[in-house]
């Protein structure tokens, strides 16, 4: 009888947390209401990585846009009922936004978020799929009402402001393609020896994000990614700007007329004189000291678990990268407004 009861036991549901744990676990579980969860997420910046002021701005900006697109979807499909008929949303837009932020920040699964907000898993999946594109389309915020969405916008902004940018690439670990899939090895990074997707990052001299995107498979070299993104053409036809880069971009300086600055070459391969060794080390250290800020900007991106390691579909990663970059830049601008310092 005990075996039969064990076999026929119904699957675990989120409501079981309220009415008692079916396996009598020896610890207490506190279940917050949706209102309590919403207040806890908004009140503590460590949950979303965003201040309450930035959250309020996101709600005011994206709420009407989400409602407009939702209504457009309802009108576009064949209907037997009038628009607005039927059941109401159990998950309002504020909760949809907060669920998406928690998912991006901490990598919380859809099942966990469904339990927190008291809805079905499919509702959370649909909510994240609707909110994430809205976040990705915002671009990087550099000033109130001013955003950069493309590399052309970045080059134009740098030319007008006379500022220096820092270029680098970062790798995000992804799932390995299934066996038998064409191009299965193209995601293997020669640097990290694991399956990854590479994304280009541009920051200013203070480490504030200006651009993040142009994703490529992990096997793509940094300089090839920069060339395929059209950066060389933008620098040739646009205003003169200075972009600092590491040794992975050696050769772009000659192709861009010195606009891309890389570490100095070594002229002596064997038995260099002591004076040259010291001069080369000082020049290399000075260049590294100027471009270290881009590593800080990348670290802010990797604080979001969705970019530390991506567990979802690889085709969704470019959108996720742009969404996180938009959120990080918005918070950076709110915390440290852009000044006129070089």
Please tell me what DSSP assigns to residue 28: -
Can you tell me the distance from the alpha carbon of 32 to that of 30, in angstroms, rounded to the nearest whole number?
A: 6
Collapsing DSSP to helix, strand or coil, 288 comes out as: helix
Beta carbons of 342 and 163 less than 8 angstroms apart: yes
Can you tell me the distance from the alpha carbon of 174 to that of 181, in angstroms, rounded to the nearest whole number?
A: 15
Can you tell me the distance from the alpha carbon of 293 to that of 190, in angstroms, rounded to the nearest whole number?
A: 25
Q: Where are the alpha helices (DSSP H) in the chain?
A: 2-7, 16-19, 34-43, 45-48, 52-76, 93-106, 110-117, 121-136, 151-161, 222-228, 231-237, 252-255, 274-302, 305-308, 317-335
Q: What is the residue-level pLDDT of the chain in tens, covering all 342 positions?
A: 344 444 444 444 444 444 444 433 333 333 346 777 888 888 888 899 999 999 999 999 999 999 999 888 888 878 777 777 766 778 899 999 999 999 999 999 999 999 888 899 999 999 999 999 999 999 999 988 899 999 999 999 999 988 999 999 999 999 888 887 887 888 888 888 899 999 999 999 989 999 999 999 999 999 999 999 999 999 999 889 999 999 889 889 889 988 999 988 877 677 778 887 788 888 889 999 999 999 999 999 999 999 999 988 899 999 999 999 999 999 999 887 655 433
Q: Which two tokens stand for residue 171?
A: 């790798």
């Amino acid at each position: 009888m005990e075996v039969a009861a064990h076999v026929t036991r119904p699957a675990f549901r989120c409501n079981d947390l309220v009415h008692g744990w079916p396996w009598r676990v020896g610890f207490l579980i506190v279940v917050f209401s949706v209102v309590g969860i919403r207040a806890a997420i908004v009140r503590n910046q460590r949950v979303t990585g965003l201040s309450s002021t930035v959250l309020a701005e996101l709600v005011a900006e994206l709420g009407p846009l989400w409602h407009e697109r939702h209504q457009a979807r309802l009108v576009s499909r064949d209907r037997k009922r009038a628009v607005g008929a039927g059941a109401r949303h159990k998950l309002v837009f504020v909760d949809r936004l907060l669920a998406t932020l928690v998912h991006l920040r901490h990598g919380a699964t859809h099942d966990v978020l469904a339990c927190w907000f008291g809805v079905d898993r499919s509702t959370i999946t649909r909510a994240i799929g609707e909110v994430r594109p809205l976040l990705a389309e915002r671009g990087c915020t550099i000033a109130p009402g001013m955003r950069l969405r493309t590399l052309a916008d970045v080059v134009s902004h740098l030319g007008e402001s006379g500022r220096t940018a820092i270029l680098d690439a970062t790798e995000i670990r992804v799932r390995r393609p299934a066996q038998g899939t064409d191009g299965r090895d193209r995601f293997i990074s020669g640097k990290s020896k694991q399956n990854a997707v590479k994304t280009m990052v541009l920051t200013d001299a203070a480490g504030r994000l200006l651009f993040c995107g142009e994703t490529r498979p992990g096997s793509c070299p940094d300089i090839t990614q920069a060339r395929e993104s059209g950066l060389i053409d933008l620098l040739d036809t646009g205003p003169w700007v200075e972009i600092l880069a590491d040794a992975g971009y050696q050769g772009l300086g000659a192709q861009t007329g010195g606009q891309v600055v890389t570490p100095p070459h070594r002229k002596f391969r064997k038995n260099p004189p002591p004076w040259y060794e010291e001069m080369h080390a000082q020049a290399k250290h000075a260049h590294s000291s100027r471009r270290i800020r881009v590593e800080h900007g990348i670290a802010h991106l990797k604080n979001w678990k969705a970019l530390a390691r991506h567990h979802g579909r690889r085709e969704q990663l470019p959108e996720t990268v742009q969404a996180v970059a938009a959120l990080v830049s918005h918070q950076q601008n709110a915390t440290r407004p852009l000044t006129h310092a070089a």
